[in-house]
Copies of this chain bind each other. A is one copy, B any other.
Amino acid sequence: VRTLSTPARPPVARILTIGDELTFGEVVDRNKAHMARRCRALGLVVESMVTVRDRVDEIVDALHDAAFRAGVEVVLCSGGLGPTTDDLTAQAVARAAGVPLQRDPESLARLETLFAARGREVLEINRKQADLPAGGAVLANPIGTAPGFAVELIPGDHAGQHGMVPSGRAPCLVCCMPGVPREMHRMLSEQVEPRLRERLALDPAPARVYRVFGRGESQVQEAITPALRELASSSVALAAVLVHYRAHQGEVLVQLEATRASTGERATEVDLIGFDAPFRDALGRDLYGIGEADLPTRIVRAAAAAGVRIAGAESCTGGLASSLLTAIPGASACFVGTHVTYTNAAKAAHLGVSEDLLAAHGAVSQPVAEEMARGAQRAFAADIAFAITGIAGPDGGTADKPVGTVHLAVAERDGQVVHRRVRLPGDRDFIRRTASLGALRLVWDGLVDRGVATTDHSSAD
């Protein structure tokens, strides 16, 4: 255990994900982002992230590179703990640490109990999951068969091989977790993070995020730059606040990170709150929220708390907007239902959009979007209903209504309707997602108008 005084250099973690399915590109690696996000929240710096194949020598190289060449304090690994012949992480870590594999009796007993409960026979390939590097700590996996483990790599042991190891360097802790995301998430929070907090002098930088929908990255930057200049000139600590911009699915995130000035001063969480008011002034309603909670999360929380019932009508997004809302736990407290109407006949039958209106304006039009929203409001006796109709492509565009043309509308119980037309760039996925978020933005504005939603700080969980 190191001293808990503020370190001059924050501890560095490397993230290592292991698996042929990753280097083959068959799986999008979400584990990396999750581990990186947690590292940042803990105050660990992630300088680089590496993915290697299921090959013992390549995993060993990656571990030695992190521990001995780069001198990182922690390696967080996921993947390669399964029962099959291409799961080689335990073997590789044992070799990297210069220890044998040992069958862990407790892990084996747990495996046997688990298999018995499922009425399955324990095969030798299953027992292999209890073979862990000797001398390591077992990381319990309450929701899966593969236990994780934590092992120390001691630089001195391998100095000869690498020739770049300063003497007296601290050991590197290698924490190996399963590749199954939910098992990894839980092991990281319950088993790994407490160990890291105890072992390392962690001092996370105060941070704050502002969420903007409806302006591009450079427009956001332009709008808030005067406020940023003024704040930066007010103190050494505020001048050392870094500002990052991130564009994502039509949304822009402005992230503040309080770094330490050369004087050692650093802005506090409370100091960062001082950015809220000037940013609200500069961005108006496009600043929909502060904090980690995203748009669907904020909508579900605000509407559920206020007892506002939300419904929808979707054409080109085909259920995606509703799926984004219902992905949020507790959505049933506000979301009532949606009619996904892909055909004109379905729009007429279920949303009461008249055939005349469809014939006169086409399905992708302001009047139809507005009628769809009204229809959904009535069909579900909702307080607020959104509607989306557009051309997601790749086909179906015309000179008049090119691919990316989307009409959004929101209808309130009192009959009031708000409409917006957007022309979105990008491919089918981007258009569908941005259109869905655009409709949810209109719902959000409706909640703000009725005074049940604010941009106040709100965390993800």
CB of A329 within 8 A of chain B?
yes
A396–B326 Cα gap in the complex (Å)?
Answer: 14
How many residues of chain A are within 8 Å of chain B by beta carbon?
90
Distance in Å from the Cβ of A179 to the closest Cβ of chain B? 10
A143 and B424 CA atoms in complex are apart in Å by 13
Contact A25 B29 (CB under 8 A): no
Decide: A428 and B346 in contact? CB cutoff 8 A: no
With contacts A318-B322, A327-B429, A379-B349 taken as known, whether A86 is within 8 angstroms of B49 at the C-beta atoms is no
Interchain CB contact under 8 A, A26 and B37: yes
Interface string of A17-30 (1 = CB under 8 A from B): 00011111111111
Whether, in the assembled complex, A36 has its beta carbon less than 8 Å from a beta carbon of chain B, the answer is yes
A246 within 8 A of B: yes
Contacting residue for A346 out of B321, B341, B380, CB 8 A:
B380
Beta-carbon contact of B329 and A393 below 8 Å: yes
| CB <8 Å contact, B22 and A33 | yes
Q: Given A50-B49, A51-B32, A217-B84, does the pair A336, B327 have CB atoms closer than 8 Å? A: no
A314 close to B (CB within 8 Å): yes
Binds B, one of A39-47, A97-105, A405-413, A448-456: A39-47
Closest to A32 in B: B29
- Contact assessment for B29 and A33 in the assembled complex, using a CB-CB cutoff below 8 Å: yes
Known: A182-B427, A318-B331, A350-B339. A28 touches B25 (CB 8 A): no
Contacts A28-B30, A319-B322; is A245 near B340 (CB within 8 Å)?
no
A268 interface contact, C-beta 8 A: no
Once the chains bind, are A24 and B40 in contact (CB under 8 Å)? yes
**Most chain B CB inside 10 Å of its own CB: which residue of A49, A51, A319, A429:** A319
Contact in complex: B318, A320 (CB < 8 Å):
no
Asked if A397 CB lies within 8 Å of chain B CBs, one says no
Taking the complex as formed, is A459 at the interface, i.e. its CB lies under 8 A from any CB of chain B?
A: no
CB <8 Å contact, B323 and A323: yes
A20 in contact with B336 given A26-B33, A319-B322 (CB within 8 Å)? no
Q: A366-408 toward B: CB 8 Å interface, digit per residue (1/0)?
A: 0000000000000111000000000001111000000000000
Q: Tell me the bound Cα distance from A107 to B130 in angstroms.
A: 58
Any chain B CB within 8 A of the CB of A432?
A: yes
Instruction: Select from chain B the residue with minimum beta-carbon distance to A246.
Output: B21
- Is A361 close to B, CB under 8 A? no
A323 near B319: Cβ-Cβ < 8 Å: yes
Contacts of A336 in B (CB 8 A): 342-343, 345-346
User: Which residues of the other chain, B, contact A318 by a CB distance below 8 angstroms?
Assistant: 319, 322-323, 325-327, 331, 335, 338
Chain B residue at minimal CB-CB distance from A328: B428
Asked if A151 is at the interface (CB within 8 A of a chain B CB), the reply is no
When C-beta atoms are compared, the residue in chain B nearest to A432 turns out to be B327
Determine the chain B residues whose CB is within 8 A of the CB of A218 once the complex forms: 83-84, 123, 125
User: Residue on B with the closest CB to A126?
Assistant: B218
Q: A75 interface residue, CB < 8 Å from B?
A: no
A105 CB to nearest B CB, Å: 23
A275 in the interface, Cβ–Cβ < 8 Å?
Answer: no
Docked Cα-Cα span, A356 to B88, in Å, equals 55
Hey, which chain B residues are within 8 Å of A125, CB to CB? 218
New contact pairs (12) apart from A23-B48, A336-B342, CB-CB < 8 Å = A26-B37, A26-B255, A182-B426, A182-B430, A318-B319, A318-B327, A322-B340, A326-B342, A327-B432, A336-B343, A337-B342, A350-B350
A-B contact pairs, 24 of them (CB 8 A): A22-B32, A22-B36, A25-B38, A28-B28, A29-B32, A29-B33, A50-B50, A182-B427, A182-B430, A312-B340, A317-B323, A318-B322, A318-B338, A319-B319, A319-B320, A319-B338, A323-B323, A326-B340, A329-B395, A332-B342, A337-B341, A337-B346, A339-B340, A346-B380
The residues of A with any CB-CB pair to B shorter than 8 Å are: 20-30, 32-40, 46-53, 58, 62, 83-84, 86, 123, 125, 143, 182, 217-218, 221, 244-246, 248, 253, 255, 312, 314, 316-323, 325-327, 329-332, 335-343, 345-346, 349-350, 379-381, 393-396, 425-430, 432
10 cross-chain pairs, A with B, having the tightest CB-CB distances, nearest first: A318-B326, A25-B36, A319-B319, A25-B37, A319-B322, A337-B346, A338-B340, A319-B323, A49-B51, A320-B323
